[in-house]
A and B are shown apart, each in its own frame.
Chain A
């Protein structure tokens, strides 16, 4: 697959403070469509701001704004960490 395939990981593995880029968006569902409409498109980079005390949801910074997402609703994304 892609050259950086080895680095690909799922969204839920990301830690607070990490930067990442979306490398692929999986199966289409109304949920995934909406997340893309929120700006989570392929190639978008974001930073993990914080994780809620009970482990979910996760707040990220993307396209100059912040959004909280549930880990299990981001299963369709493949991401790669960036510096």
Chain B
């Protein structure tokens, strides 16, 4: 019986990438999954509950891996889960190892490593139908004998084999079976290992052959510590090491070769070609002739990516407007009931409801993007997209898989950053996340339109206005390229792994996998990033609301204003009061305090305060400018009085606040800055650390500041 206090067993689903592991996990657990993070790493922890006949067991979906010699962070996590060495994990009672029938040798390589580590294993054989389609037969009973474990054939589409697999899991939990096979190594090595094993046994230590080999190959291996008490044994090991080293048998390559030799023997023993396939070329090959063709392939790629982009940029808009409309309606309904207590009214309406609404508005884009990604991944096209694009990204340290996350970031960095998950390798994922917010997202557009409309178009005409808008979309991209090159060399550390990509056979997407991917992406965003976003939005509300003006201050503001504007309406007065209030708030005071630092960029405290208050969302800089220029918060980039107010604004000495250069500088600032807490919250969730959002905020703000100063100073050179 299990000694677990909760009475539950723990099993882990392991296997090579692309072996059908996720589909199997979804079949086994359905929506009874939870997605979190392993402590301190960017790797997601996916686990679920599996209902068997007599019990329910917990099942962890271990990230796909090729080998247990872990190099990358994801692989170290995977090995930590399998061995139960990660904090708050324990060694699974049983491994369910997915074996891809069409890729037996490589899958058996990994299987042999697991077996040697002493695990109880049940094998789930996927893609058997595909193997048979190519004219082959596989003898599973024979294979089961050779490996010493139960092997259950699966057909993913129809959940065929699922019940048999569950039965096998239940059987093996009650009476575990460990694999029984031995891998043959070169004779000289075998002889050495046998004699060492015998000597060790003589002093009463029972080492397996694998233990001996580990101790031989890795002098740092913990097994060697057992030898410390037996000096003569230690010498025997180092003699053997030296001898084998001279014979060239002590290289990791020898172990790899021996395993593959074993795997290919097993494969030849169990797989038999019964008929020759009609054609050398499979259907996938024929489709690939078009889809990876240098003209048609790239053409279709551009069309598909345009569709993806339009879907999140344009088609998501009505749904986003709907969400905004609902929240505006809700605010309008609730607001009058709270009029008696202005603080609570403002907290609920401007803080909480704006925060929740401003967070939920990202959901349509996230869901649509993940619909596309899940479908493209399910069909096998995502891998082709990476294949086509890799050359363009590889030289600066990214890879072809970065294309979709970065493209999506031109609509919105939040789904873009989440989409970086398509990259299995942590380093490229992190590099992509860190530059994604430099892509010019749609929330920057209102800022560009306002400033270009106010300062470029009237003076230089539509042609230059169009050019300025275009240039603003490229600023971030131009900065991103050298930056990512630098990040990959200096900031993101870790051993390098080769870029490995498999182009799986084309197939129809499995809709359950698609829905589960969308559901969990949405849920994770709302639960983790969403919580941070709402919290920060309340914080920013507090900073712009408090401290309130005293009664005397309010009277002073209104009487001064009435003297200079005798015909002022009640509404004008309110706008004036809002302006004075924001100027007096913590945010306004902070804006004034940092004004000296921004003088070289040509920004006064009104601009800095607007930038600060745009932290909940970039586009809110427009209503913030409205408030601070006493026009109220209802302005948008198309209103005519805001450009007028900006044009008329002056420094205390009477010089105009905005020159065209200041306007360009402000746009460059917005192109490069990280004034978007939703982005930072998403980065926190995706990297599972505050370090990377802090780093992102710092580097982007620095770049933005330098960019704005540079533009302003160039402007000075040209005499304006």
| Interface positions of A (Cβ within 8 A of B) | 25, 28-31, 33-39, 41-44, 50, 52-57, 59, 63-70, 73
Contact = CB atoms under 8 A, between A and B. Distances in A.
B387 A52 contact: yes
B260 A56 contact: no
B496 interface: yes
A39 B105 contact: yes
12 contacts: A28-B251, A37-B109, A39-B109, A41-B260, A53-B294, A53-B388, A57-B391, A63-B264, A64-B103, A67-B500, A68-B387, A68-B500
B412 to A, nearest CB: 28
Nearest to B494: A30
A65 B501 contact: no
Nearest to B68: A37
Given A64-B102, A64-B103, A69-B498, A42 B253 contact: yes
Nearest to A74: B498
Contacts of B106: 38-39, 63, 65
Nearest to A33: B252
A38 B66 contact: yes
A70 B390 contact: yes
Interface string B283-310: 0000010001110011000000000000
* Among B267, B297, B495, B498: residue with most chain A CB under 10 A: B498
A70 B394 contact: yes
Q: How large is the interface on B (under 10, 10 to 19, 20 to 34, 35 or more residues)?
A: 35 or more
Contact of A53 (B267, B293, B501): B293
Contacts of B109: 37, 39
Contacts of B66: 34, 37-38
A63 B262 CA distance: 13
Contacts of B344: none
Contacts of B394: 56, 70
Nearest to A37: B67
B488 to A, nearest CB: 15
Contacts of A43: 257
A51 to B, nearest CB: 9
Contact of A34 (B102, B260, B387, B497): B497
A68 B293 CA distance: 16
Contacts of B503: 59, 66, 68
A54 B400 CA distance: 12
Nearest to A54: B391
A63 B105 contact: yes
A30 B251 CA distance: 13
Interface in B577-620: none
A65 to B, nearest CB: 4
Contacts of B390: 52, 54, 56-57, 68, 70
Contacts of B256: 36-37, 41
A59 B496 contact: no
Given A25-B253, A39-B106, A66-B503, 8 more contacts: A29-B496, A31-B497, A33-B71, A39-B260, A50-B292, A55-B391, A65-B106, A73-B498
Contact of A68 (B69, B252, B297, B501): B501
* Among B294, B392, B499: residue with most chain A CB under 10 A: B499
A5 B257 CA distance: 22
A38 B388 CA distance: 22
A1 to B, nearest CB: 15
